[in-house]
Amino acid sequence: MTLSHAADLRTIRGPWRIAFSVVLVAVFFALPVLISDATLGTLILCGAFAIGAIGLNLLIGLTGQVSLGHAAFVAIGAYCTSYLGDGRGWPFLAYFATAIVLGLVAGAVIGPFALRLRGNYLVIVTIGLVFVSEHVLRNWESLTRPVRGTAPTRDAAVAIGPLDFGAGLDLGSALYTREQSMFWLTWALVALAAVVAHNLTRSRVGRAMQAVRDRDLAAEVIGVEPGRTKIGAFAVASAMAAAAGVIYALGLGAIDYQELSGIHGLFMSITFVAIIILGGLGTVHGSILGALLVVYGQRLIANEGAAMPILGIPVERGWMSTGELNGVLFGGLIIVFLLLEPRGLAALWARVRTWFQGWPFAY
């Protein structure tokens, strides 16, 4: 509990949160030295999905506008990386900023549909985005530059001043790999996106989003403009999705339009929705926890799941593939959370935090 307005405005409050933040910073710097590059590659993808999920949580969890077209905006960032970064040799900050601006504009163009549609009708319109993007990306070859079906992003510059994350950081006598360097860049951007989203939820704009989510008409009565709020939420969520697309493309080294559009793009959009449901709707840290659970879990099952036994039979010799096992496990997990803990991992985390804050007293 805070006793002053100044204390309420602090992002980190209380000794427990300060101590936890110090631990997180220590883990941030130590983890790349302790684990393999393959695991770091998975955590880079987790970071990309976390950034996109934070944006989608602002749209769905805070504003109440459901979207299944998030992958289309991720594709904007991914192809900015390939076309401008890898193909044209633009510096990192230039194509990263361009991707965010293009995502912002695309979201602002799509946003007005939310003014006339809601519920299932809005969901259907956003699903159409991933199929429209498939048509555009399949036929616009000068943009997608397909090489054996994929667009390269490996040669895109990833340097900020003297720090070259793409080639691997060289700090004095210590040399770090590309994966180690990209981990630090990715999770620094995740922290930046989390701080921006956290401050947005506490601002006047954030309160307007929550008012629109709870009741459009009541929000309008108290002076909130639902139209402008919904369009703004779409624009911010799309810009964050485009930023996530840049990190996603850099993490993979090459992108395939089929993974970002059409039926596979729809699956990616559903993955984003699963992340915020499992992590916790309307929470910033829930988006990060959900991304770690879903993306890391899916990659773990994809890589190691073939040897896992089900009823004593290894998956690879049983009655389902690792892809189907992924779908069954995470589909079941969503059902369990919706039935038993609709507020997701964020609610479980809040209980643990409350226990520590109240210890040794039960209440």
Indicate the number of domains in the chain: 1
Is residue 28 packed enough to be buried (19+ CB in 10 Å), middle (13-18) or exposed (0-12)? middle
Q: Given a cut of 80, is residue 281 above it in pLDDT?
A: yes
What's the mean pLDDT in 194-209? 91
Q: Would you state the pLDDT for residue 313? A: 59
Assess if residue 300 is contained within a domain: no
Q: Could you tell me if 235 and 65 are in contact, meaning their C-beta atoms sit under 8 angstroms apart?
A: no
Closest Cα to residue 81, out of 94, 63, 62? Answer: 94
Going from the C-alpha of 362 to that of each of 14, 17, 19, 149, 230, the distances in angstroms are: 19, 20, 22, 59, 42
Range of the domain at 101: 35-264
Residues 6+ positions from 43 with CB-CB distance below 8 Å: 31, 183, 186, 187, 296
19: in domain = no
Place of tokens 């209380």: 14
pLDDT for 177 equals 92
User: Is residue 321 pLDDT above 80, yes or no?
Assistant: no
- Among 63-72, 116-125, 283-292, 316-325, the least confident range: 316-325
Torsion (CA) 284, 270, 337, 326 in degrees, nearest 10: -120
Contact 298, 326 (CB under 8 A): yes
The alpha-carbon radius of gyration of the chain (Å, integer) is: 21
Question: What would the mean pLDDT of 171-182 be, rounded to a whole number?
Answer: 88
In a domain, 315, yes or no: no
Token reading at 301: 């099952």
Domain presence at residue 356: no
Per-residue CA distances from 35 to 31, 75, 297 (Å):
6, 30, 17
| Tokens describing residue 333 | 């997990």
Asked, for residue 212, whether it belongs to a domain, the answer is yes
pTM, 2 dp: 0.90
CA distance linking residue 47 with residue 42, whole number of Å: 9
Phi, psi of 288 (to 5 degrees): -70, -45
pLDDT at 315: 61
Q: What's the pLDDT at 6?
A: 64
User: Is the CB of residue 56 less than 8 Å from the CB of residue 291?
Assistant: no
| Sign of the dihedral through C-alpha 60, 104, 120, 224 | positive
283 is a domain residue: no
Among the residue ranges 85-89, 138-142, 315-319, the one predicted with the least confidence is 315-319
174 three-state secondary structure: strand
For 143, the token pair is 């943009």
Instruction: Write the CA distances from 343 to 123, 271, 349, integer angstroms.
Output: 22, 17, 10
pLDDT tens digit sequence for 226-240? 888 989 999 999 999
Q: What is the mean pLDDT of the chain?
A: 85
pLDDT (tens digit, 9 = 90+) per residue, 255-278?
888 888 888 889 899 999 999 999
The model's pLDDT over 75-104, given as tens digits with 9 standing for 90+, comes to 999 999 999 998 888 999 999 999 999 999
In contact, 242 and 80? CB cutoff 8 Å: yes
In a domain, 184, yes or no: yes
The residue with greater pLDDT, 323 or 246, is 246
Least confident among 84-88, 209-213, 217-221, 357-361:
357-361
pLDDT confidence of residue 246: 95
- Let me know if residue 284 belongs to a domain: no
